[in-house]
Amino acid sequence: MTGTTQKRGGVIFDRDGTLNHDAGYTYRPEDLRWMDGAIDAVRTVNAMGFAALVATNQSGVGRGYFDEADVHRFHAAMEADLARSGARIDAFYHCPYLEDATVAAYRMADPPDRKPNPGMLLRAMADFDLDPARTLMIGDHERDVEAARRAGIRGILYPGGSLLTTLRNGLALLG
């Protein structure tokens, strides 16, 4: 039997400032405010059969502002909101490590998962067996675009406004 199976595509979203408003180390579920078009963007990715993933630096953990349980609670609140709207994130990846962390357990020189390093993106792509040519990273900082470049995928800078519009523009570039 011959034939090729095309690998799945995916969209990896940054979190703060891309999916949700960034209030500065946002971690409390009650502070969750979606960016314009964010829920529709995730639902669109789901409808396409692509993996919808999140890769987020969470230096607030390493700085001692909140802990990893808070990160998971915030993600659970996101998942609940999305589920009510018929959308889902397939997996969340976060990096609490940084070189000058005040919490010693999170102090690491040049953490491989901290964007602009590509560790979280590479792990997500491996976990979901994604085709790099059909995978997109959307984030609100150049470090997100650089992480995508280092991971061998297309990176799109989210300038604000409708995330759904940014997603559509990015998907058009995948061909």
Q: Which of 16, 113, 140, 144 is catalytic?
A: 16
Separation CA 50–CA 135 (nearest Å): 9
Separation CA 145–CA 55 (nearest Å): 12
Task: Count CB neighbours of 94 within 10 A.
Answer: 19
3-state secondary structure of 94: strand
Task: Look up 81 and say whether it is catalytic.
Answer: no
Angle between the N-to-C axes of helices 119-127 and 142-151, in degrees from 0 to 180, rounded to the nearest 10: 50
Give CA 69 to chain center in angstroms. 18
Q: Are 62 and 106 in contact (CB under 8 A)?
A: yes
Is 33 exposed, middle or buried (CB count within 10 Å of its CB: 0-12, 13-18, 19+)?
A: exposed
Task: Look up 100 and say whether it is catalytic.
Answer: no
Which residues belong to the active site?
Answer: 14, 16
